[in-house]
Amino acid sequence: MAAAPAEGSVVISACPIPGTGSNFLTGTLLFIDCATQELAGAGYRVLSGQGASGGIVLGVLLTLFVAAQALRLMGGQVPTPRAFLPLALKLGVVLTLAGSWNAYRVLVLDVVLRAPAGIVAEVARGTGLAGDDMTVQLQQVDSAMLGLARAGSGLVIVDGAPVAATGQSDVARTAVEDDTALAAARIGWLAGVIGALGTVRLLSAVLLALGPLFAGLLLFDATRGLFMTWARLLAGCLAGLVAVMLVLQVELALLLPWLANVLALRRALLPTPSAPVELMVLVAGFSLMLLAALRLLWVLALAPAITAMQGSVAKWVGSGTAGSWQPAVQEDPVPIMPPAGWARPLPGGVPAQPAPAANSLPSPPGRVPQPTAADTAPPAPLGLSYRRRPTSLSARRTQGRQRR
């Protein structure tokens, strides 16, 4: 099987370390992107490379699949053309995903990691939100926050009273100090962006790294559910990344012009006492939206997929071990109904009383039932219990002569 090419791949430790100050957010996002690409590529190399542990597991799965088909042929189970086509398709999918890095990168990796950016760009262009690259816009918001922190809101404290920097003294004081509000706004902004994008992208990297192993599980009917669960998780990560980027795109459309307006007022030496608290509220609100998007991703995609995976594993383990330790279940024999009037003997050899007839009345308490004439009569010979009455004239004459 072909391993991932060495050229073009990077080591996580060699990824660019973000700097402090005006390029912190851009550097952090670039580091996350670099680590995501390397983690997915390194995982593929480990699980599909020659001599690697993952490659051995995949080789064992392919060997078992071929051996199972050979045993079916030896047993006389020749697959029909309709049944042979799914087998060929499954084997082709496994060899394509687990044996060719170029095919895997184009069909799976690029779709999961790069397609969301294209989808969001098309949606933003159609709604008039399109601008520069999203990473550049995110850094512009962070730089504007740093500029507002340096400029302040234009309020100074003179003798315990708020006074504007322009000499105006009729400016109301805000409930939260400027430094606290601006620091909380920037902390929420950085944590929300890095946490949301990093969570979805790194989770996608882990799933992509395990791709060759899950592709091998497609070969068998008992483990096919695990492969489908892996595909659902990847689809959920793709949808979650699109949702997160759309929320950030809407937030950028609001924060960029708002911060530009506030900075323009401060450059004109006009006070903006409410700006720090308003910025903190905006960032907190959109951070809650990001959390809601991630929660929706978990409820609609990740949690059902994980539950389905647990069910598939439990079913596979149970079906594989049920015949090895569970005793065989013996069916109860069909009970034979006793004839009418027969009663089971009591313990100790005491004969039981015959069952009463359907039309007989129950005996009073303390009284032993007396045998009837039907009980004391000798049994009829075999075949003569129900004699047929003669109906013809000759038969009646013959019966009369016998009686005489």
d(CA 65, CA 90): 11
For 324-348, how does the pLDDT look when each residue is reduced to its tens digit (9 = 90+)? 334 444 445 555 555 555 555 555 5
Chain-wide mean pLDDT for the chain? Answer: 74
Q: Which residues of the chain have pLDDT under 50?
A: 1-10, 51, 157-161, 165-172, 320-331, 358
- How many CA atoms lie less than 13 Å away from 366 in the CB half-sphere? 0
Note whether 213 and 176 are within 8 A (CB).
no
User: The tokens 């401060």 sit on which residue?
Assistant: 266
At 29 the pLDDT is 93
- How many CA atoms lie less than 13 Å away from 129 in the CB half-sphere? 20
d(CA 174, CA 274): 7
Note whether 47 and 212 are within 8 A (CB).
yes
Q: How far is CA 18 from CA 109, 114, 133, 184, in A?
A: 25, 22, 18, 21
Note whether 94 and 218 are within 8 A (CB).
yes
Note whether 116 and 241 are within 8 A (CB).
yes
pTM of the prediction?
0.65
H-type alpha helices, 211-343: 211-216, 224-267, 275-297, 303-325
In a 10 Å sphere around its CB, with 0-12 CB exposed, 13-18 middle and 19+ buried, how is residue 373 labelled? Answer: exposed
For 182-239, how does the pLDDT look when each residue is reduced to its tens digit (9 = 90+)? 999 999 999 999 999 999 999 999 999 888 888 888 888 777 888 888 888 898 889 8
CB-CB neighbours of 18 under 10 Å: 17
